Amino acid sequence: MSEPTKLVAFCGSLRKASFNRMALNAFVERLPAGSSAQIIEIDWPLYNADIQAQGFPVKVQAAQKAMIEADGLVLVTPEYNYGPSGVLKNAIDWLSRTTPQPFASKPIAMFGASGGVLGTARAQYQLRQIMVFLDGRPVNKPEVMIGQAQTRFADGKLTDEATGKLLAELGASLVLAVRHARAVKEHVK
């Protein structure tokens, strides 16, 4: 039996009836056995170096600690104006300035839902570019870009079987990436 996998997840939408929150819940429900995800709320103040100079907000410090203790990360974003949400980008900006920087070498799953046909494709590509700079390790396949989200959810739940299958496959890919990262660490020791 393999070691449990502990994940930390961020949803880039603050809206109560967010399709991205519903997608994240569906993802967590489909994680492989032995895996768990802590969802961190990111209703933080806008990044400001003056605030940072006086000390990182408590919520940022708690998120960084959770990320360091986690085996992998999950980033879920809507697409606003061809990019990730400002809420998620703000969280990344805060966390990237903490020491140790908690994205480095972490396996990361990312996905998102939108009403458009492309389903957050452009936002996810931008997140991948950001993760290059932060030395994160995004899972490449499957890409989960939930387009026309209004047709895939009902009563707060995912109703589209094909999307559910993709989310389950992404969760399995993330857990596999975590296992590979652990094996590399053990080999280096």
* 166-176 confidence digits (pLDDT tens): 999 999 999 99
Residue 2: pLDDT over 90: no
Reported for 127-134, long-range contacts at CB under 8 A and 24+ positions apart, including other chains, are 127/75, 127/77, 127/84, 127/88, 130/89, 130/92, 131/103, 134/92, 134/96, 134/101, 134/103, 134/104
CA distance 9 to 109: 9
Place of tokens 């569906």: 26
Burial (CB count within 10 angstroms: exposed 0-12, middle 13-18, buried 19+), residue 33? exposed
Q: What is the DSSP letter of 150?
A: G
Q: How far apart are CA 86 and CA 72, in angstroms?
A: 22
Closest C-alpha to 97, from 122, 133, 123, 149: 133
More confident residue, 187 or 85: 85
- The residue-averaged pLDDT of 123-135 equals 97
Mean pLDDT on 132-136: 97
Q: What is the pLDDT of residue 104?
A: 96
Using DSSP bridges, classify how beta strands 79-80 and 83-84 pair: parallel, antiparallel or unpaired.
Answer: antiparallel
Tokens for 90, please give them: 């703000």
The answer, yes or no, to whether residue 113 has pLDDT greater than 80, is: yes
* Domain ranges for the chain: 5-188
Q: Which of 171, 178, 173, 139 is nearest to 25 (CA)?
A: 171
Mean pLDDT of 29-44: 97
What integer pLDDT is reported at residue 3 of this predicted model?
A: 86
- pLDDT at residue 111 greater than cutoff 70: yes
User: Does pLDDT of 1 surpass 70?
Assistant: no
Q: Rounded CA gap, 127 and 131, in Å?
A: 6
The CATH homologous superfamily to which domain 5-188 belongs is Flavodoxin domain (3.40.50.360)
φ, ψ for residue 2, nearest 5 deg:
-85, 160
- Across the range 81-103, mean pLDDT stands at 97
pLDDT of residue 179: 94
Please state the rounded mean pLDDT for residues 84-112.
97
Give Cα 1 distance to the centre of its chain: 26
Please report the pLDDT score of residue 186 as a whole number.
Answer: 79
pLDDT for position 75? 98
Name the one residue in this structure whose structure tokens are 């410090």.
Answer: 61
